[in-house]
Structure 1
Amino acid sequence: MIPESISATNSNLKGICPSNVAATQKVRNVKISPSTKQIIYQVVPFYKGPERMTSEIWLADTDIAGSARRLTDGLFNDRAAVFHPDGNSVIFVSDRTQPGKAKDLYQLFLSDAEDAHDPRILNLGRSVQEFEISPDGQYIAYSSIRHSFSESTACDAKVYGFQKSPLGLWIYSFVTAESHLVDGIDGACHIESFTWSPDGFELLYRLRKGKEAEYSEQEILVQRISVTPGSRPVTLGTYPRSPSGSNIWLGSGHIVGLQSYEPCNSLDARALFIHDISSGKPKATKRLYGDFEDAVRIVDMQSKYCSNRHGGSGMIAVEVCSDVDTHIDAVYLHRNNTTPKDNYLFAVLPLFRTQGDAIWFGAWDAKYAYDSATDKTTVVVAAVLSSGILNEPPNVWSIRIDENMETRGTPPSRAVTSDDRLEYDVPNWYYPSLTSVRYKLSSHLDWLKNSAPLRTEVIHWQAEDGTRLSGVVRSSMSAVNRPLPTVLFIHGGPYRRDIPDYMPYFCNWRELLASAGYLVVSPNYRGSQGRGHAFAFAANQGIGVYDWPDCESMVDEVIRRGWADPTRLAVAGWSHGGSLTAWGVTLTKDRFKAAVVGAGASNWEGMVMESGSPELEKAISQRDPWDGELHKRNLSPIHRVDGVSTAVLILHEGFKEKLMQGENEALNSLFILGSPMGFWKEDTLKMSWKGSFDILTSGYD
């Protein structure tokens, strides 16, 4: 199955090969300073070996191309860095006191960084899980375990429902350098997330019954509490299941957050929900996005550099997935004395849209600032962008957007009242004209940029029932002009999507295989992200109903176009992509010459019983082992291995022990029935890459 375009020396693999990928870095956790003049981010090895993890913090000037420079030395695991609200220092988590174990907070003044001074530790007296600085910069709220358990009391036995170390909520004062536990919060529950009120006097937090993943599918309690000692919490309401990410508390009196389009659904598109708590209790709720595109991440855009004229207002940025594209919108909410009672104004303004590139997994930030001296406003968006179309590896880019509030014209989006989402015209509302400038701030992953270029293309086609689908096709620029051996590479999730990015990593072999001369096709099947509620909710029909036929229809489409050789096909994927690979191989028996099932499920009954998220796995599989419908068991791939001639490699990461028993059963079934196969549990990801590449290129004909 080795393509004719690959020579014996295989020069392309000197660029994109397992060794280079295993040694690469990822760029993430982008944050903008309150003044919008600087940006920090994190550079971390994509894979850790037997040694401990390390990471670096980098600093860049927003408006100077190529200005990124290393802020910390990379000898420790420095991470989760944010600017202090005054903009003069950076707060981050590190293991400097106990490499590989500690989770302490450090403060690095930027003037000290220029003089090569070490950061100072903030003596909290305990490890930090998550933290957030108060808007006035006086305090840090952080989550940490309430009680420490010594090794002598540790026990291998696990009792269902027993919470060994629930997270509590703590406050550190910069003035006194002391910490205290926030009293009044139920100590038997787990702090899932928290955020400050705009004035810094209160905290909003979410509680669930335990920290394990299964509790995220149960009821979540939402409360607020004053930071004044002795205060009691006020319950605002509940969520039917965990929202996505943290909430944001806005000066307009709204709590915003991301939930499933229908909040009780485990598998659904995400939408932005706006809850009005201006009267102290939740009132009206508004839902934005989720109908035909998905809101997947939000950030608070405001800082102390916002003018007093924006009192009673709030502004967030929303990452919106629209098919294979992404755009970032600013959502502005405003309430003042002239606004009718129980009403408010809001506007949605576009800030940024991908054009042949892609944002790396939520690695972006947006900040709004106002200069009272010049009466000018500005917005900065910073993001890690890559492009498969342009062969650009992930790097940090800044986009500065200046607003001219004197210009009134056609609204770039919409301004509406809470009573009517469809009206464009709001009296005395002035729409800004937006002008932007973009800068590339960093130059990481040069080895990838210098590799042999690939061809990346987004295509659309129709499924058999007429549903319009999209996917990404990758191939080598040097590939011969004839039908190529083809690998169907399926993304996980299912609530993820394939986009025209450019970043090979452990569960993504697209670029590796394309550089070796294969045509690699990656479909966005029903259940994927970016197409709204109906498209994502289709996953609730169960695995194999829509997702696999959609995947196979992309193979049929590239064969129809004359790009793929129907006699030389392979299939691979990771997580849910691995599950779909197992599904497709046991359904088609011999259509695919080779397959890699990466961390996928073959026995859905066992998966539901053994998984840490049984409700989610039941929604995906629609298999309930205890419902008495025994005929459903015949639908799992493990019950259909008879007659499979595809060469199958089953891969699992070391930490996915929950899948090992069921996949050993799949291994034994394939072995007994004579399928060429292998099973690889390998912590060294370079080796798993090599194993995947070997079986997909081993020539099973």
Structure 2
Amino acid sequence: MSELTAELIVDQDFPQDVQIAPHGKQVAYILAPTGKKEEHESSAIWIASTDRDREARQFTAGEAHDRHPRWSPDGKYLAFLSDRAKRGTGQLYLIAADGGEALALTSIKNKKSVDDFAWSPGGGQIAFTSSDEPTEEDEKQEKERDDARVYGEKWPYARLRLLLLATREITTLAAGERHIADFTWHPHGTEIAYVVHQTPDLEARAHEVVIERIAIAGGEPQVVCHFPCAIHSLTWSQDGSTLFFLASVAKKSQSSFAVYAVPVQGGEPTHIACGQTNCAAEVRALHQTSSLAVLIGEGLGSRIDLLDPKKGEAVPLLGDMDGERGVEYDSWDVRRSEDGKLTVAVVRSAGDRPREVWSGQEQAGQNARSTGLQQISTHQEQLAGISFGKQEPFLWTARDGLKLDGILIRPTGEVEASPLPMVVLVHGGPYGRWGHEFHLHPLDWGQWLALAGYIVLMPNPRGGFGHGEQFAAAARGEVGQADYQDVIAAVDAAIARGIADPERLGIGGWSQGGFMSAWAVTQTARFKAAVMGAGVSDWGMMVMTSDVPDFEQELGGSAPWDGVTQRRHLELSPMTFARNVTTPVLILHGENDARVPLSQATGFHRALRRQGVPVEFVVYPREPHGIAERAHQIDILQRVRRWYDRWLKG
């Protein structure tokens, strides 16, 4: 049996962003390494045959960050984004579907990247968004270091632009002091609908947005509707009468997501599907049919349904089980061909199978799950000789009677008699979830720890994805309360079933999982080791310093400026109770984390040192909220294992 090393984990190549060609016979996708070795990311476009007539082949060199491949409507070309001319600045390129040299459609001299793009239905135009290029005065000030930043001035608003392929002429359709965040073409190619944020700042996502539409011939934009918070997956119905999108049920940041519809001529958006007992993740219109394809999370799994938007009825297209094996989808596409069949492509994984591209077909509207799904890529052969831990659903009941779910991974061969040392890994979000996917990533230590001899318990406490609005809403102003009790109830269940040794318990996680780990050690001494990865220690400081302050205030329950009587954030902050900690804590954090700033880790480290708690504090230079550099990812994996071994096995 081959040995799993940290290097094998970080050198995995992950397929992403699958796109089916119009004829349904090919799938384009991105293959990207888990960790980057240099300053900038790299990725390549690959193409696979849906019928496996030809092996998947690399289509671009992968020496730059080639991404976002999109087929032309006639299937003869692929447009994509790449920073091959200037690393870190992505421009729009065009390449023939049978290969050749890629042609830059936007200037490689541009200093601003293209953010997003979409082909017109007829294929003669491409709409895209990008911010304005710096003026001569801007460049002069930067060169002379006379470049003070004033809040509210010189926002890098994304503009909606139109490229005419025949002449390469570019016009700006939507400008002004507003940020274009998403857009979609009218099925006849006559108009574009788009979402307007007040500013490019992430803070704007928590405030009112506007959907507008504009004729490509020009003219004034028409307001379709206002919505109190961010939306995504904007798509136009095939008859041109309705716009669909995803947004939160409660119209708050921490909430389950649902499908909404709004008349193109204007009106109030209507909630038409999902969000109450399950969660919508993405919605797409299908060509030549009124149905929508919706990716839905429910329980531990995800499925793709065909939704009739008028009746609100859904027909399963692709479920979350392959026989007895649960499966998960990281990326997906559905396309209807002229013969009435739906071609489906997904990036799929399971508890014992890493991520690969799969494809299959089914008649549109058939009242059964799709059949004939087959693997069409082979990118994870380096893991083939490794015997991974046995992954299984873990169900338990909360103290208030709520039925909960999660994942349990058992070591291969049960290296010692049960009960075993157990590590509890808490997911991020809190609107995240542990599901049927393959749990092997620099920030997902499930299999990595199982192969080191640990039982790994991965609970899904309240606040997460897959159980609807009431479940998600439980985290608003209540983090560390019912969700923490859910985690503890899962631990109790594992002990009661003879799975876990109560004297050898660890806890860990990243982001919200890092918060829960920090919170847990302030509330109990049951855990003998903890890993706090990019975790929150002070919700008040998060409101003041995070790049999503409204979201953090929703979770923490109040802001520091709410007055001396409104201090819920203090009651929910690990920092408030740091004097209680006796558990050894490993703190890991990215230096340039804007979501959970480094001060959260620095402060908690300082508090634990003052209490004489065994603590190790590691900062990763240059890193944001998710650790991206290969060497740092290896360090995390090795350091996490050593920490648990030291305190749970030593």
TM over 0.5: yes
Deviation at residue 43 of structure 1 after TM alignment: 0.3
| Corresponding residue to 2:124 among 113, 138, 148 | 138
Distance 1:664 1:654 in 2: 11
What SS is found at the alignment partner of 1:162?
coil
The corresponding residue for 1:385 is: 348
The corresponding residue for 1:353 is: 319
The corresponding residue for 2:61 is: 73
Distance 2:397 2:588 in 1: 32
| Corresponding residue to 2:358 among 372, 391, 397 | 397
- After superposition, residues 564-579 of structure 1 pair within 5 angstroms as 564-579=500-515
More moved, 154-163 vs 267-276? 154-163
The corresponding residue for 1:369 is: 337
- After superposition, residues 172-183 of structure 1 pair within 5 angstroms as 172-182=163-173
More moved, 520-529 vs 149-158? 149-158
Decide whether the 8 Å contact of 2:328 with 2:436 is kept in 1: no
**1:686 equivalenced with 2:622 (yes/no):** no
What SS is found at the alignment partner of 2:476?
helix
Decide whether the 8 Å contact of 1:494 with 1:539 is kept in 2: yes
Decide whether the 8 Å contact of 1:203 with 1:225 is kept in 2: yes
The corresponding residue for 1:653 is: 590
The corresponding residue for 2:262 is: 275
- The normalised TM-score by structure 1 is 0.85
Per-residue CA deviation, residues 192-223 of structure 1 (Å, 9 max, x unaligned), is 11111111010101111111111111110111
Residue type matched to 1:353 in 2?
A: G
The corresponding residue for 1:4 is: none
What SS is found at the alignment partner of 1:540?
coil
Decide whether the 8 Å contact of 1:472 with 1:523 is kept in 2: yes
**1:203 equivalenced with 2:140 (yes/no):** no
Residue type matched to 1:488 in 2?
A: V
The corresponding residue for 2:215 is: 226
Residue type matched to 2:97 in 1?
A: L
Deviation at residue 285 of structure 1 after TM alignment: 2.4
**Gap change, CA 1:283 and 1:488, over 3 Å in 2:** closer
Pairwise CA RMSD of aligned residues?
Answer: 2.0
Decide whether the 8 Å contact of 1:365 with 1:383 is kept in 2: yes
Per-residue CA deviation, residues 221-245 of structure 1 (Å, 9 max, x unaligned), is 111000113x111111111010134
The corresponding residue for 1:246 is: 234
Distance 2:436 2:258 in 1: 23
- After superposition, residues 194-343 of structure 1 pair within 5 angstroms as 194-229=183-218, 231-262=219-250, 264-277=251-264, 280-282=265-267, 285-302=270-287, 306=288, 314-332=290-308
Residue type matched to 2:296 in 1?
A: V
What SS is found at the alignment partner of 1:579?
helix
- The normalised TM-score by structure 2 is 0.92
Decide whether the 8 Å contact of 1:66 with 1:441 is kept in 2: no
Which has the bigger relative contact order, CA under 8 A and spacing at least 6? 1
For structure 1, list consecutive stretches of 5 or more residues without a partner in the other structure: 1-10, 307-312, 334-343, 372-376, 406-410, 413-432
Distance 1:370 1:460 in 2: 44
Decide whether the 8 Å contact of 1:603 with 1:663 is kept in 2: no
What SS is found at the alignment partner of 1:554?
helix
| Corresponding residue to 2:373 among 421, 438, 455 | 438
Deviation at residue 51 of structure 1 after TM alignment: 4.0
Deviation at residue 688 of structure 1 after TM alignment: 2.0
| Corresponding residue to 1:528 among 437, 460, 464 | 464
Distance 1:510 1:596 in 2: 14
Residue type matched to 2:345 in 1?
A: A
Decide whether the 8 Å contact of 2:225 with 2:269 is kept in 1: no
Deviation at residue 360 of structure 1 after TM alignment: 4.1
Deviation at residue 286 of structure 1 after TM alignment: 4.1
More moved, 242-251 vs 351-360? 242-251
What SS is found at the alignment partner of 1:698?
helix
Distance 2:266 2:559 in 1: 39
What SS is found at the alignment partner of 1:642?
helix
Residue type matched to 1:537 in 2?
A: A
The corresponding residue for 1:548 is: 484
The corresponding residue for 1:119 is: 102
Distance 1:51 1:613 in 2: 26
**Gap change, CA 1:161 and 1:225, over 3 Å in 2:** same
Distance 1:530 1:225 in 2: 36
Per-residue CA deviation, residues 8-47 of structure 1 (Å, 9 max, x unaligned), is xxx87x22x3222122221100011112111111001111
- After superposition, residues 619-634 of structure 1 pair within 5 angstroms as 619-627=554-562, 628-629=564-565, 632=568, 633-634=570-571
What SS is found at the alignment partner of 1:494?
coil
Distance 2:601 2:140 in 1: 35
| Corresponding residue to 2:602 among 657, 664, 671 | 664
**Gap change, CA 1:39 and 1:491, over 3 Å in 2:** same
Decide whether the 8 Å contact of 2:132 with 2:159 is kept in 1: yes
The corresponding residue for 1:425 is: none
**Gap change, CA 1:120 and 1:573, over 3 Å in 2:** same
% same residue: 29
The corresponding residue for 1:159 is: 150
Deviation at residue 252 of structure 1 after TM alignment: 5.0
**Gap change, CA 1:292 and 1:118, over 3 Å in 2:** same
The corresponding residue for 1:426 is: none
Deviation at residue 631 of structure 1 after TM alignment: 5.5
**1:56 equivalenced with 2:53 (yes/no):** no
The structure that has the greater radius of gyration is: 1
Per-residue CA deviation, residues 131-177 of structure 1 (Å, 9 max, x unaligned), is 01111111100001124254432466433323432111110011222
Distance 1:472 1:297 in 2: 24
Residue type matched to 1:190 in 2?
A: H
Deviation at residue 484 of structure 1 after TM alignment: 0.6
Decide whether the 8 Å contact of 2:17 with 2:68 is kept in 1: yes
**Gap change, CA 1:55 and 1:186, over 3 Å in 2:** closer
The corresponding residue for 1:93 is: 81
Distance 1:489 1:51 in 2: 30
**1:39 equivalenced with 2:27 (yes/no):** yes
Deviation at residue 65 of structure 1 after TM alignment: 6.8
The corresponding residue for 2:581 is: 644
